[in-house]
Amino acid sequence: MANPSLTPEEIKLFSKEGVFTPRLISPENRPNEALRLFQGFLCNNEPERAALGNVIALWEQIPKYSGEHLNTVDGIVPNDHVIDFTIGNRPARITLFPGTFYPNKNNHTPQRRFPGVKEQAVEQAIIHHACLQAETYSAKGEVSYYVTFSRRALARTLSVMGSTLSNTQIRESIEVLSSSIMTIGSSSNLLKDNRDPILPGFERNSFESDDSNGDDIWRVKLHPLIAHAIQNVTYRQFPMSITKNYTPAGAYLIRYMHYIVPNISIGTPFTFRLTEMKRLTAGLNHIRLSGSMNAVIKELDKMKVDGLLDDYEVKEIFPVCRPRGRPSPLDFEIILLPGREWVKNVKAASTRVSVSEKSLGLPRSERSQRQLTLPNL
């Protein structure tokens, strides 16, 4: 990992297009330069760059996959799913609507499901593709970013990230993401809201009638909140390749650890609740809360081996007034003691954020507001 003690003038970022030093740019060039900074990582060489990805702080705090447990085999699901959450200690609410997909090209009867593990994996793979190649589009003062890929290429990215999905599963997931609407409300009275699909739209071109080989080309538009994050540097680099050895919930926790605590240090514990994690990620739909806790413990043990954690502690949370006998815990408190790899990664990410903000002319004093505020709400 690159030395985070270098001065801004000495810091170089590695992108797929080469190495560059961030410089202060003019406002008219900001959309394109913001994308270049998003694609540039603070590291030492190309292999290190290929192992890194971006975690988008605001995007990861929205419980987009909290309706997964409502899915059924026959596709009969509720019309919506509402859940309250917080961003920066501010109340927010999301209403999720299930997406539609076609099980196969010969079956014209659509099915519905809420986005879940497959959709979360495909979403992360698309975001990573944006780190490699994307294009800027500006119209009427609004900046959008588009990513182009084939399903075959996306499958390779998914494999690097530890997910194995068929071309059909990838197509279905993109269909669900592009048709699953989420309405997000914020502010004290929850009277203002924003409504968009998780994946706002796509174009697809197939050069053969049989596209089962995955060579068809997709062009997708990134969600406005992701575009906002790219332009405002509300993202952080993290060790994407290490997630290959983790479950979807474990991979989410690694991303969570690398954006939620920007000033972590050895000996400073970080604490969170299991129910909070269950709201934010797919893959923890166990009937009993203890089942989810056991699944997370397996991931924490892997993190100790990988140097992300020095140790961890789990505490059961019981009702204030306990009934007779041994009641089931209401929640679990998870205390993480940072390992050297976690601390090193976070320091490099913080340095990269600082030089990127300086390049785009974004005040350091407004960083917290940018990271924790839903735009236009």
pTM of the predicted protein model: 0.90
Q: For residue range 215-271, what is the model confidence (pLDDT) as tens digits?
A: 889 999 999 999 999 999 999 999 999 999 999 999 999 999 999 888 888 888 999
Residue 201, both tokens: 């739209």
Query: Has residue 4 been placed in a domain?
Result: no
Please tell me which residue, 3 or 287, carries the higher pLDDT value.
287
Q: How confident is the model at residue 75 (pLDDT cuts 50, 70, 90)?
A: confident
> Distance between CA 39 and CA 13 in Å, rounded?
9
Cα distance between residue 96 and residue 67, in whole Å: 7
- The span from the CA of 216 to the CA of 206, in Å, is 4
| pLDDT given at position 187 | 59
pLDDT for 208 equals 59
Determine contact, residues 276/223, Cβ cutoff 8 Å: no
Residue 2: pLDDT above 60? no
Q: Which is more confident, 127 or 193? A: 127
Q: What angle do CA 340, 352, 348 make, to 5 degrees?
A: 10
> What average pLDDT does the chain have?
89
Task: Name the strand (E) or helix (H) holding 136.
Answer: strand 135-139
Which range, of 72-76, 89-93, 301-305, 342-346, averages the lowest pLDDT? 89-93
Question: Using CA atoms, how far apart are residues 196 and 212, in angstroms rounded to an integer?
Answer: 29
Domains contained in the chain, number: 1
Statement: residue 88 has pLDDT above 80: no
pLDDT at 20: 93
Q: Tell me the mean pLDDT in the region 345-359.
A: 95
Decide: helix, strand or coil at residue 164. coil
The pLDDT of residue 1: 55
Q: Residue 214: what pLDDT?
A: 79
What band does 185 get if pLDDT is binned at 50, 70 and 90? confident
Strand partners, 236: 55
pLDDT of 211: 59
> Mind listing the pLDDT tens digit for each residue in 135-168?
999 888 889 999 999 999 999 999 989 899 999 9
Helical H segments across 133-187, by residue range: 151-160, 167-179
Domain residues for the domain of 214 are: 13-372
For residue 71, give both structure tokens: 């899915």
Is the per-residue pLDDT at 281 higher than 70? yes
The pLDDT assigned to 210 comes to 56
What confidence tier does 108 reach under pLDDT thresholds 50, 70, 90? confident
Q: Which residue, 374, 377, 303, is CA-closest to 340?
A: 303
pLDDT of amino acid 212: 66
Q: Round to the nearest angstrom and report the end-to-end CA distance of the chain.
A: 37
Q: What is d(CA 143, CA 47) in angstroms, rounded to the nearest whole number?
A: 31
Tell me, what's the pLDDT at 376?
66
Provide the pLDDT for residue 139: 83
pLDDT of residue 8 exceeding 60: no
Query: What's the pLDDT score for residue 263?
Result: 82
CA 355, 9, 29, 17 dihedral sign is negative
Is 226 inside any structural domain? yes
Distances (CA, A) of 198 to 47, 175, 279: 31, 10, 17
Statement: residue 294 has pLDDT above 70: yes
Quickly count: other Cβ atoms within 10 Å of residue 79's Cβ: 7
* pLDDT at site 19: 93
**pLDDT > 70 fraction of the chain, expressed in percent and rounded:** 92
Which residues are CB-neighbours of 242 under 8 A, at least 6 positions away?
51, 254, 306, 308
Predicted confidence at residue 337, as pLDDT, reads 96
| Structural domain includes residue 287 | yes
Percent of the chain at pLDDT > 90 equals 67
In a domain, 1, yes or no: no
Question: What is the per-residue pLDDT for 6?
Answer: 46
377 domain residue, yes or no:
no
Higher pLDDT, 312 or 102: 312
Asked if residue 275 is part of any domain, the answer here is: yes
Spatial strand order of the sheet with 135-139 comes to 135-139, 142-150, 217-221, 201-205
Select, from the ranges 22-31, 55-64, 308-317, the one with the highest average predicted confidence (pLDDT): 308-317
The pLDDT confidence band at residue 53, using thresholds 50, 70 and 90, is: very high
In a domain, residue 122? The reply is yes
Binning pLDDT at 50, 70 and 90, where does residue 371 land?
Answer: confident
Residue 265 lies in a domain: yes
Angle between helices 289-305 and 248-260 (to 10 degrees): 70
